[in-house]
Chains A and B, each alone.
Chain A
Amino acid sequence: MSTEAPARGARAGFDLDRPWQLHAQVSVRPERFGALLYHFGTRRLSFLKSPELLTVVSALAAAPTAREACRQAGISDAELPAYAAALATLASSQMICAREAS
């Protein structure tokens, strides 16, 4: 499940056109600045720097692609690269992982 994610580091770019999801061992705590994430497997903390990014991450599991999750969250095309970069960082730390298309 998650083994694919670490290879998709920030440098490798991020595949917006496939399905993604929050890692099953990650807990999310909404905060006024966005959210805190904690991965119980890697025991690492991370954070989402904006409520919009939290909306995107929360939408991943139900959306057919990450691009669609961003669209649902109201992210414009101009903003998309910044969000792709943020998602790539989350993927490289296994906070989110690629999901098989359902």
Chain B
Amino acid sequence: MTQPAKTLPLVEQFQYGLDAPICLTWELTYACNLSCVHCLSSSGRRDPRELSTAECQAVIDELERMQVFYVNIGGGEPTVRPDFWDLVDYATQHHVGVKFSTNGVKITPEVATRLAGSDYVDVQISLDGATAEVNDAVRGPGSYTTALRAMTNLAAAGFRGFKISVVVTRQNVGQLDDFKAIADRFGAQLRLTRLRPSGRGADVWEELHPTAGQQRELYDWLVARGEQVLTGDSFFHLAAYGDALPGLNLCGAGRVVCLIDPVGDVYACPFAIHDSFLAGNVRGPGGFAAVWRESELFTDLRRPQTGGACQSCSAYDSCRGGCMAAKFFTGLPLDGPDPECVQGHGERALAAVDGLLAPRPTGDHSHRRSPAAGSGPVPVSIGARPVPVSIGARPAGAGALTTLPPDRACDESPLAGFSPG
């Protein structure tokens, strides 16, 4: 369009931040019945400081005032909060749509019927293997059956187009067609997202993240499927292969999205639960709006960014240096290549850093005895990374954020399905 083209490109508008997030991720609880080995939020046990029902409602009131279209609710397992369904109702009554992620444990036929009746609630069932063997190795025994039962209940209730959300790993990347078949069988939509070295994911990333060859296969598979498969914009680092994948390929961390954790802490993105990315708390004066609009961290993220070591790379315009969180938790500098850089710069960079010095995620809510570990036949060995010797010491990378802001961070892709134009 000629007329509107006089304004800044939209991507630039977004990079400088909006007055309110387009959507945000809200982890309602750290409590979870499972202990997935790659949990981004190291969930398991409830935090006693969790926001109360009234405090959650106050946050929803604020989101309504700020015209945040919807929240991606997760956890932990959000449905184990006794007030979960009331909060969902409260949000939708206040014009804040809800998409929640669940392992399916509470999706009974009755709940499925109720969900199918609402236009303002979307459901995302997590599944990390197209077979029980592959899924349960990551998500724990019985979790495949639980997820499939939830899907059966949703489909039977007439809920069309719910999401099946898969974290792509070295072990399940060969099952992409099988995942698609499962989604088709239930009238659901497949969503693939990237494994991040965040939370407990930091411990298993080396073993679980796709190999370079697998990344290429994944990219080709996604390009062939186009918009049939959602990705949450999470694979924008693969754009360096050539064509960008559908979506805006924009990192929205602190600019158009953020994370609210169960105790009200506001982080730049769901993959960056670490003090370095903590902007404030919704319990503070001014609430969430003040954190969003005035926090030092978010103000920094909205400044023009540097490409650092990647600036001279021919692929930089496509991948923009990749994912901030992936770099941070693997110990790479924020203004250098992504650890999964398709040009191989990440692997070389990783070889040069001491992984033991990588920053550790903040807060561990894991069950003290993990139900997932060591139970049953496990096709992949999921070994814990050795604990760094100097716990609490912050390596150089951790403090780099303010001086050398990354060009992008990754986000729970609020912009998935975004149709530019």
Listed in ascending order, the chain A residues whose CB lies under 8 Å from chain B are 25, 27, 29, 31-34, 36, 38, 40-41, 43-50, 52-53, 79, 82-83, 85-86, 89, 93
Main secondary structure of the interface of B (DSSP, over half): loop
Complex contact A86–B1 (CB within 8 A): yes
B: which residues have CB within 8 A of A?
Answer: 1-8, 10, 13, 18-20, 22, 67, 69-70, 95, 97, 99, 119-120, 122, 414-415, 417-421
A38 adjacent to B70 (CB under 8 Å): yes
Contacts A43-B417, A49-B1, A85-B1 given: A34-B69 contact, CB under 8 Å?
no
Query: Contact at A49–B419, with CB atoms within 8 Å?
Result: no
Give the chain A neighbours of B97 by CB distance below 8 A: 38, 40, 43
Chain A positions within 8 Å of B8 at CB level: 33
| Min CB–CB distance A47 → chain B (angstroms) | 6
Contact present for A29 and B69 (CB under 8 Å):
yes
Q: List 20 A-B contacts (CB under 8 A).
A: A25-B119, A27-B95, A31-B13, A33-B7, A33-B13, A36-B69, A38-B22, A38-B97, A43-B70, A43-B97, A43-B99, A43-B122, A45-B22, A45-B69, A45-B415, A45-B417, A49-B5, A50-B1, A79-B2, A89-B421
B163 and chain A: residue at smallest CB distance: A43
Minimum CB distance partner of A53 in chain B? B4
Is A36 a contact of B3 with CB atoms below 8 Å? Answer: no
The answer to whether B2 touches A93 (Cβ under 8 A) is no
**A32-B67 in contact (CB<8A):** no
Known: A38-B97, A46-B418, A89-B421. 15 other contacts (CB 8 A): A27-B67, A27-B69, A33-B8, A33-B10, A34-B7, A43-B122, A45-B69, A46-B419, A49-B1, A49-B7, A49-B421, A79-B3, A82-B2, A85-B1, A93-B419
The answer to whether B3 touches A82, judged by C-beta atoms less than 8 angstroms apart, is yes
CA distance A48 to B7 in the complex (A): 11
Q: How far is the CA of A23 from the CA of B20 in the complex (A)?
A: 23
Shortest CB-to-CB span from A32 to chain B, Å, is: 7
